[in-house]
Structure 1
Amino acid sequence: MKFNIYIIIAAVLLGATSCKDFLELPSEKDFDSSTIFEDVGKVEMAVLGAYTSTFNAELFYQFGMGTDECFSTEGETNSKNQVSNYVYNPAISPTSTYAAMYAGVEQANVLIRNIPLMDQVSETETTKLNMLLGEAYAIRAANMLHVVRYFGDVPYPTIPVVEMPDFSTSRVSRDTILDGCIQDLQEAIALLPWKGESGMPVERISKNAAYGLLARIALYAAGYSLRWDLDSYASGSVRLAQRSDTQRIQELYEIARDACKTVVDRGENELIDYETIFRDLVNGRYNNESMFEYGQKGADRNEARLGYTNGIFAHERSFYNKSQPAMAALPTYYFEFEEGDVRRDVTISNYAITAESIHQMNTYANHMVGKFRVNWKGDGGVSAAQRDINWIHLRYADILLMYAEAENELNNGPTAVAKEMYEKVRLRAFQNDRSKIGETPGTYADFRDAIIQERKLELGFEGWRRTDLIRWGILYEKLTETKQEILDLANHTGKYEGVAQYRAYKRTDARTFNDPTVALDFIALESEPTQEERTALENQGYTILNMYGASAVFFANAFSADAVWVRNIYRGLEKNKVELFPLNTTTIDNNPGLRGQQHPLY
């Protein structure tokens, strides 16, 4: 958020935007290398320009839904609702992330090609150029992971477009791509400074962040993905599997483990108060937990609408201006947090803000994403849809959980270190009360399940759940189980039999920036109160809310098993098919090398 002026200058220098099709990306010539690569300052502006293509709204919006945390509140004929519920085909398959990531890759390729060719530079300038080259390598790796985790085997350009023999690029094995990304990050780590030594803003990739990205990519490279025969594209060859080289899988877990260990041993990052992470985020403040963020300041970067489509509802006439979410927390997600877990009320907002600037309690059907709420800001932002809220790509809690996961995989069970890393995250969630975190599992399978659940609770709505479930090979199973739990909650059966059907709460004013309200307190009522009970509560200032009813300022739909929105959740889910998106028809039409290379089941 603090270097947006350079982004504006860089955009002019680069002559590129993140929404261009891959075949329309700027070539090396567009960088005017005769001037940019003779001046270190201009090279830095070019690197900053490449950061504008490291993020896209699809990453938290379409791709952030369809999980066991989050669903789309848009209509069933809306393409975003269809994507979130696995109803997609080549005609509506998302394209924005694909195009944006490749724009960043091309920018990185030009930088990687030209920076080493710069001569007649001083020792100080050489140090700076090494850092910039490291950032370019890291950007290329991070962007390619985003493409691979949604589309699988894809084109893998590692040289500028102008140097390619032709403009036709075909699919490359994701194993080759992810191994290349690992090499890129290892190069980056050798070139980048530690954040504590450089004072780099969190919107730029430090050595700390590069280690975290390395661990993340190594875990994806070792995990499951939807695969098929790249020679025949036969539908019968489609399967969900890990790579065949078991020794390489072991090496990848070692890479992930060692990368996380290095960050932990360095000691520059730490866990902070959970609520503070996101209050800092929406207000542009730095802390030692957030390791890499996408800066949102500036009109060109604010198009992601963070806090608008993925925040709480605020009426357009409210003190905070309009906030119009298009996604909400699944009703069951709220109940997965154990009693005393402070993450629940930060992650899930149990209130919306009315036209009269009142906190009004949500029903089970419209609990909202709480981490990016506009009332926690210290100001109104640029506009209703442009709140200057950054996006966190990586934070320290993720490092600890990846460390624990890799240790468990390498040792066929949790080591003492694995348990320690896992428990650090758990203890923070329960304000360091060890009596509340329970016993840490001791077997491989139980600890793996615990990690899967803990990542859900810790990293909710942060854009990784959908593909995490895929890399664990359990997307279909987990979502099938979740759908049944949604129906059980709707029917008050099974483990949800005793869930309160009504709540009594007090409506409170919402007329201040930096709103201290995290959650509205309530009295749980198992059944509808009698008239006498209702009168007594109302005389004390309480409002009675039917938690299954349609009384809401946003997504005012009753919660029942036969409700259309409930029936349609995950309606297109098919195992060994939807784990990857098909390439959009336009994407294939624009690239002759992809013709005949569509996802075999589409």
Structure 2
Amino acid sequence: MITPSCKKFLDFESPSTSSEAVVFESTATTNTALVGVYNRLVGDNGYGSRLSTLFGITADDFKTSGSYSPSDRRGISMYGASSDNTDIIQPFAQLYSGIERANLCIKFIPQSKLYTSGSATEQALMKRYHGEALALRAQFYYELIRNWGDVPQRFVPAADAENLFPANADRDLTYDQIIADLAIASDLVPWRSEIAEYGSFRFTKGAIKGLRARIALARGGYSLRTKTNTMERSADYLKYYQIAKDECKAIMDNGSHRLNPVYENIFKSLHGTRADNENELMLEVAAFGANANTDSKLGYYNGIRFNAASTYGTGGGGMNAIATYFYEFDPSKDCRRDVTLGIFEITATSKKIINTLNNFTDAKFRKSWTNFDGRSSSQQFAVNWPILRYADILLMYAEADNEIGNGPSATAAEGLQLVQKRAYVGFEGSIPVTPTNKIDFFNAIVKERLLEFGGEAIRKFDLIRWNLINSKFIETRTKLQQLIDGTGPYVNVPNYVYAKEANYNLTPSVTEVATLDLFGGAPNNVLFAPGLNSTTAPAGYTVKNWRRALTTENQITSISTGFAFYFEANKKELLPYPKTALNENTNMVQNFGY
């Protein structure tokens, strides 16, 4: 049985002796087959690790920790991955494995007698399963396209394929197919309110419509084109913005999903304790089983850093914040900063202490929010990955409406403001002034999505579809240099701060950060004022490098750690195809620049 509190449905092995005729003539075994498709979302090579924490960075929010190597995760983060990069090979294969499993369901479910002539209940259930399979295939293809571009496509099972080794396919045609598939799927699958037992672990109508909106914006956005080796978008792009707008509006009007009033609770809900009665989490990848195939390494690889000697055991630290990201947030009103950024780490004595400015982590995933204790040697904590949130629906609607209408409507402005007011809880009257013209409103959306979705593997792909990735990288390097020099908006940022350990109380993040023990007072004062500017700490405190932790070399010019050092516009917006895939399928062509 599948319930919102149960993740065991991903612990699946296919009954290899069962034929399609047997599997798809029972709703129970059809469900089992479909669960096998969901299984391809999770694990180390899915959103349990690599797809979630490696492929979506670097942007102007986070990067991978450590020093560059072309053949591992740091090569991806620095836009210098080689075709034999070990972290891209298996995710590529797993996504195609998911497509093959989905293709089997998509072929055989409609052929089932239950689908065509079963009881009304059986037919409705089989149609729901059919819609879920279509949505899953769309998600797999979307992930492939946004990372590799013109990937080979196949919309039938391998046994029915005319060519087992297809060449690269025009991504626009693949996008158009899955956009059409999702329109069908939306009619087959009920709203979340009608199938509450699904929770957010399986596709419901809202999640399907949201995915269709997201893919439509990608189809209507910019991408690196194979024929021209330049970033382009199609002339009819507004057609796809209209699809996105319509789908988002349908979700907004239905009411099955709303904003969670507490931003932090969205992410705590991913850790096991449900605190999302508003169903902001529209689709999440369920993790279970403490293994590499069905669980996740969220909170172990990434998230707040825990010292191995602490009572929590080792965890976190695989992702670092871009140093300027901290200063993008309103310092005293925006609660998202302290949820998103790991400003502190947990020491060997199980207490908290502020990090240096170049050592912040992401923080929406925390081992301390799970039930695992430090005595466990497990690297998997059953933490789920968020695929789609209602906040994204509001902001996608606002973006599409603004683009289509040459300026925002009142509904678009309200959507932006709803997201901002949740972030500025207690200070709702102080949200930024909403622009009324197209360009300024678009820029407000660009900024808001940076603040709202930090560390959720969204920003990089936003920048690409807007054709802003190169200009934002240039802008970020300029900001980093200003921060290093203490000029411009960073003129009052201190060189040093002075800290001591404080109790880690597991209070809400804003309170947790506010109670860090810093000489001079609260962080929102100390981190925005020059302070003592001395390498000698006051009695009882330890010096922590702040601006002094940053240098032009370690932040910008280093071939090992420089920000997005190997990025080249019109070349590195896509990853290289794995060499193993090219060796197996000689009809495929490597992406430009690799």
Normalising by structure 2, report the TM-score. Answer: 0.90
User: In 2, are the aligned partners of 1:284 and 1:389 still within 8 Å (CA)?
Assistant: no
For 1:338, the equivalent position in structure 2 comes to 330
Match of 2:13 among 11, 14, 22: 11
AA aligned opposite 1:74: G
Match of 2:364 among 367, 371, 379: 371
Match of 2:485 among 465, 483, 491: 491
User: In 2, are the aligned partners of 1:351 and 1:360 still within 8 Å (CA)?
Assistant: yes
1: CA distance between counterparts of 2:336 and 2:356?
19
1: CA distance between counterparts of 2:292 and 2:192?
27
Match of 2:156 among 155, 159, 162: 159
2: CA distance between counterparts of 1:531 and 1:561?
20
1:5 CA displacement? 3.6
1:367 CA displacement? 1.0
For 1:26, the equivalent position in structure 2 comes to none
1:278 CA displacement? 1.3
| Structure 2 unaligned blocks of 5 or more | none
Indicate whether 1:295 and 2:295 are aligned: no
1:510-566 deviations in Å (ceiling 9; x for gaps): 48799996324443151435699824xx4xxx55533245xxxxxxxx322233776
User: In 1, are the aligned partners of 2:131 and 2:188 still within 8 Å (CA)?
Assistant: yes
1:387-420 deviations in Å (ceiling 9; x for gaps): 1100000011000000000101111111111111
For 1:39, the equivalent position in structure 2 comes to 26
User: In 2, are the aligned partners of 1:404 and 1:419 still within 8 Å (CA)?
Assistant: yes
Alignment of 1:67-82 (within 5 A): 67-77=59-69, 79-82=72-75
Over 3 Å counting, the alpha-carbon distance change for 1:39 and 1:300 in structure 2 is farther
User: In 1, are the aligned partners of 2:191 and 2:205 still within 8 Å (CA)?
Assistant: yes
Aligned length: 561
1:62-114 deviations in Å (ceiling 9; x for gaps): 21321111122122236211211111232328223321211111111100100
For 1:438, the equivalent position in structure 2 comes to 432
Match of 2:232 among 236, 241, 244: 241
User: In 1, are the aligned partners of 2:504 and 2:512 still within 8 Å (CA)?
Assistant: no
For 2:451, the equivalent position in structure 1 comes to 457
For 1:560, the equivalent position in structure 2 comes to 551
Residue 398 of structure 1: SS of its match in structure 2? Answer: helix
2: CA distance between counterparts of 1:270 and 1:404?
16
Alignment of 1:156-555 (within 5 A): 156-199=153-196, 200-229=198-227, 237-243=228-234, 245-246=235-236, 249-272=237-260, 273-285=262-274, 287=276, 288-298=279-289, 299-301=291-293, 303-339=295-331, 340-380=333-373, 383-431=377-425, 433-510=427-504, 518-519=512-513, 520-521=515-516, 522=518, 523=521, 524=526, 526-528=530-532, 534-535=538-539, 538=540, 543-548=542-547
AA aligned opposite 2:183: Q
1:499 CA displacement? 0.8
Residue 454 of structure 2: SS of its match in structure 1? Answer: coil
2: CA distance between counterparts of 1:569 and 1:417?
38
1:438-461 deviations in Å (ceiling 9; x for gaps): 211111111111111111100001
AA aligned opposite 2:9: Y
User: In 2, are the aligned partners of 1:211 and 1:259 still within 8 Å (CA)?
Assistant: yes
The range that moved more, 293-302 or 360-369, is 293-302
1:231-264 deviations in Å (ceiling 9; x for gaps): xxxxxx2110002x42xx2221111001101111
AA aligned opposite 1:360: I
For 2:144, the equivalent position in structure 1 comes to 147
AA aligned opposite 1:224: Y
AA aligned opposite 2:90: S
Residue 282 of structure 2: SS of its match in structure 1? Answer: strand
User: In 2, are the aligned partners of 1:507 and 1:543 still within 8 Å (CA)?
Assistant: no
1: CA distance between counterparts of 2:36 and 2:576?
29
AA aligned opposite 1:269: H
1: CA distance between counterparts of 2:400 and 2:204?
22
For 2:104, the equivalent position in structure 1 comes to 110
2: CA distance between counterparts of 1:175 and 1:69?
29
The range that moved more, 582-591 or 507-516, is 507-516
Normalising by structure 1, report the TM-score. Answer: 0.88
AA aligned opposite 1:375: S
1: CA distance between counterparts of 2:474 and 2:450?
16
Over 3 Å counting, the alpha-carbon distance change for 1:530 and 1:321 in structure 2 is closer
| Structure 1 unaligned blocks of 5 or more | 16-29, 230-236, 550-557
AA aligned opposite 1:323: G
Over 3 Å counting, the alpha-carbon distance change for 1:368 and 1:465 in structure 2 is same
User: In 1, are the aligned partners of 2:295 and 2:382 still within 8 Å (CA)?
Assistant: no
1:368 CA displacement? 1.1
AA aligned opposite 2:352: H
The range that moved more, 140-149 or 493-502, is 493-502
The range that moved more, 562-571 or 200-209, is 562-571
2: CA distance between counterparts of 1:489 and 1:444?
31
Match of 1:127 among 124, 131, 148: 124
